[in-house]
Amino acid sequence: MRLLLIRHGQTPDNARGALGAVVPGPGLTELGREQAAAVPDALADEAIDAIYVSTMVRTHETAAPLAEALGITPTELPGLREISAGSLEQRSDPDAIRLYMGTIFSWADDLAARIPDAESGHEFFARYDDAIAEIASRHDGTVAVFSHGAAIRAWASRASRNVGVEFSRVNHLENTAVVILEGSPDDGWVAEQWADAPLGGAQLEDATAPDPTGEAR
């Protein structure tokens, strides 16, 4: 199958550089809505069979224009939500960002590492793997999955045979950028694309936003 992992559009937390992973979380900024509106045209050449979203408002709002254009009702899966920030929630200071993203990158070697008062690598990958496996059990073709910056970077770099955590560390993932994987849970995944710009083009980037879960580290 062809898996389009699409990061949600910009939120107020992204714009001010805060860690925000509490469900349901905020909706999109004005720019975020513009980014979402550009998704259907950007994906016009993809034969999308289904759309999936997390339990967070921002993925629902980002998926809405594509869902309307295709006449597809998105399916919500809790396992697609962002990696919990625990006691780091809403912090934007460098120490908090380093601890959050550093723990996530450390899962390449130590799945037992835990974000303070939040998830370990074992727990995150178990629930995200389960969500992707459920999607794959229902579809063989192309599926659009609207998820989150840290979650996509962590899962895609671990699941893909041809990219790894160091690739994820140095390659950012802008709001509405897409990571495209081909394969299946049984056969494994190959990354066909890791975009460094929003689906609507670089003109939809916010160069001033700190955006901690999408930036290279």
Domains of the chain in start order, with CATH, are 2-145+160-204 (3.40.50.1240)
* Average pLDDT along the chain: 96
Tens-digit pLDDT profile for residues 182-195: 999 999 999 999 98
Confidence of residue 171 (pLDDT cuts 50, 70, 90): confident
Longest dimension (CA), the chain: 44
DSSP string for residues in 58-102: HHHHHHHHHHHHHT---EE-GGGSPPP-GGGTT--SHHHHHHHHH
82: annotated active-site residue: yes
Q: Is the pLDDT of residue 27 over 90?
A: yes
Q: Is the pLDDT of residue 217 over 70?
A: no
What are the φ/ψ torsions at residue 178 (nearest 5 degrees)?
A: -125, 140
- Of residues 86, 116, 98, the one with CA closest to residue 17: 98
**Distance of alpha carbon 146 from the chain centroid:** 7
* SS3 of residue 141 by DSSP: coil
Q: Identify the active-site residue in 8, 60, 148, 172.
A: 8
61: annotated active-site residue: no
Q: Identify the active-site residue in 82, 89, 174, 205.
A: 82
Q: What is the mean pLDDT of residues 94-102?
A: 96
Residue 217 burial (CB count, 10 A): 14
Confidence of residue 214 (pLDDT cuts 50, 70, 90): confident
- Of residues 147, 112, 139, 188, the one with CA closest to residue 25: 147
